[in-house]
Amino acid sequence: MRNAPTILHLDMDAFFAQAEQASKPSLRGKAVVVGGLGPRGVVATASYEARVFGVHSAMPMAQARRRAPNAAYLVPRFAFYRSISEQVMGLLRELSPLVEPLSLDEAFVDLDAGGAAWDSDSARLAGIRLRADIRAVTGLTGSVGLASCKMLAKIASEQAKPDGLVLIEPGTERALLGPLPVRTLPGVGPATGDHLRRAGIATIDEIAEAGEDELVRLLGKAHGHALYAMALARDDRPVVAEREAKSVSVEDTYDVDIHDRVRVELEVQRLADRCVRRLRETGLSGRTMVLKVRRYDFSTLTRSETLRGPTDDPAVVREAAARLLESVDTTGGVRLLGVGVSGLADFTQEDLFAQAAEERTDGPEEEPAEEPVGEVPVPVEHQWRPGHDVRHAELGHGWVQGSGLGRVTVRFETPESEPGRVRTFRTDDPGLEPAQPLPLVRRRLEGDGGGDGSASVPPVPGLVSDAGPRPESESSARELSAERISYTE
Please state the rounded mean pLDDT for residues 341-345: 87
Q: Write down the pLDDT at residue 75.
A: 92
pLDDT: which is higher, 347 or 286: 286
Q: Write down the pLDDT at residue 52.
A: 96
Tell me: the pLDDT tens digits for 357-406? 434 444 444 444 444 444 444 444 567 999 999 999 999 999 999 888 89
Nearest to 107 by CA among 187, 10, 194: 10
Q: Write down the pLDDT at residue 347.
A: 62
pLDDT: which is higher, 467 or 91: 91
Catalytic-residue membership of 433: no
Tell me: the pLDDT tens digits for 426-437? 999 999 999 999
Among 100, 106, 267, 479, the active-site one is 106
Provide the pLDDT confidence category of residue 41 given band limits of 50, 70 and 90. Answer: confident
Of the listed ranges 284-298, 404-418, 458-472, the one predicted with least confidence: 458-472
Mean residue pLDDT of the chain comes to 83
Tell me: the pLDDT tens digits for 195-235? 899 999 999 999 999 998 998 998 888 888 989 999 998 88
What are φ and ψ of residue 35, in 5° steps?
165, -165
Task: Say if residue 481's pLDDT is above 70.
Answer: no
Strand 165-167 and strand 285-295: the pairing is unpaired
What is the DSSP secondary-structure string of 243-310? --EEEEEEEEEEEEEE--HHHHHHHHHHHHHHHHHHHHHTT-EEEEEEEEEEETTS-EEEEEEEEEEE
Contact status, residue 206 vs residue 186, Cβ threshold 8 Å: no
Of the listed ranges 289-298, 416-425, 477-486, the one predicted with least confidence: 477-486
Q: Write down the pLDDT at residue 483.
A: 45
Please state the rounded mean pLDDT for residues 229-244: 86
Task: Identify whether 162 is preceded by a cis peptide bond (ω within 30 of 0).
Answer: yes
Tell me: the pLDDT tens digits for 265-318? 999 999 999 999 988 888 888 999 999 999 888 888 999 999 988 899 999 999
Task: Say if residue 450's pLDDT is above 50.
Answer: no
Query: CA-to-CA distance for 8 and 291, rounded, in angstroms?
Result: 38
Of the listed ranges 184-188, 219-223, 225-229, 485-489, the one predicted with least confidence: 485-489
Please state the rounded mean pLDDT for residues 456-465: 41
Q: Write down the pLDDT at residue 204.
A: 92
